[in-house]
Amino acid sequence: MLLYMRGVNRELPLFLVGLSFAAAEGGARLHLSPLLVSLAAGALIANLDEREGRRIHQAINQAGLPVFALFFAAAGAGLKLDALVTVGPAALLLVALRGLAIWGACRKFAPADDPRLKRFLWMGLISQAGVTFGLAALVSRTFPSFGPQVEVLIVAMITAHELVGPVLTRRALLGSGEIRAEEAGGGA
C-alpha cells in the first residue's frame, strides 16, 4: 500500500476498494479474516507513516458510503430478527451493565485534576459500531449453532448504543463547556 501511495499516488479510494476485495478473496483462500487483515494493515500503515495514514483515512471517507451501504444491507439481510424477542432483554441488560461499567471506570480512573472528566467522560464513550458489526457477522458465520443469536444480540446492543451515545456525547460536550449550545445546533 505504501509503495502504491508513494509511487502511483492516484485514485486512492478506488485502489483501497480493490485492495479490500483482494483481501477478502485472498483471506478466504488463506483462512484469514479479511476484517482482521484490513485492521492489521491499517494499524501498520498508521504507525509506519502517519501522513499516509491520514491520506488513507480521507480516502476511506470518500469511498466509504457505497461500501458501508452494501455491507450493512448484506449484514441486515442475514439477521434473524425473530431472535430479538429472545435476546432483547439480555441486550438491554448488557447495555445497562456496559454503561455502568464505563461510568464507574471513568469516575474511578479519570485524572483528579479535571473534575469535568470524572463527570462527563463516560458519556462520550457509550457510542460504538464500526468494526463491531463485522465481528458480529464473523461470530455468526464461525459458530452456526448459536452465532446468529449472538449476532442479533450484538446488533441490538450496538443499536441501543448508537441511539443513546450521540445524545450523551452532545450533553457531555455542553456540560463540560467544550462547546456552546449555539455550536451544537440548539439549546441545552
SS3 159: helix
Residue 2: CB atoms within 10 A of its CB come to: 13
Return per-residue pLDDT of the chain as tens, 188 residues.
Answer: 778 877 887 888 888 878 888 888 888 788 888 878 888 888 888 888 888 888 888 887 777 777 777 766 766 666 666 777 778 888 889 889 999 999 999 989 988 888 888 888 888 888 777 678 778 888 888 899 988 888 888 888 888 888 888 888 888 888 888 887 766 665 44
The secondary structure of residue 10, as a DSSP letter, is S
Please report, for the chain, the start and end positions of each structural domain, with discontinuous segments joined by +. Answer: 11-76, 79-178
Separation CA 4–CA 16 (nearest Å)? 10
**Long-range contacts of range 46-50, CB-CB < 8 Å, 24 or more positions apart?**
48/2, 49/2
Q: Which stretches within the chain are classed as H helix?
A: 2-7, 12-29, 34-48, 50-77, 84-109, 115-120, 131-142, 147-176
Separation CA 39–CA 33 (nearest Å)? 10
Which residue type is seen at 55? R
Return the C-alpha cell found at 96.
Answer: 445497562
Separation CA 175–CA 172 (nearest Å)? 5
Residue 101 is predicted with a pLDDT of 94
Separation CA 110–CA 108 (nearest Å)? 6
Residue 175: CB atoms within 10 A of its CB come to: 14
pTM: 0.56
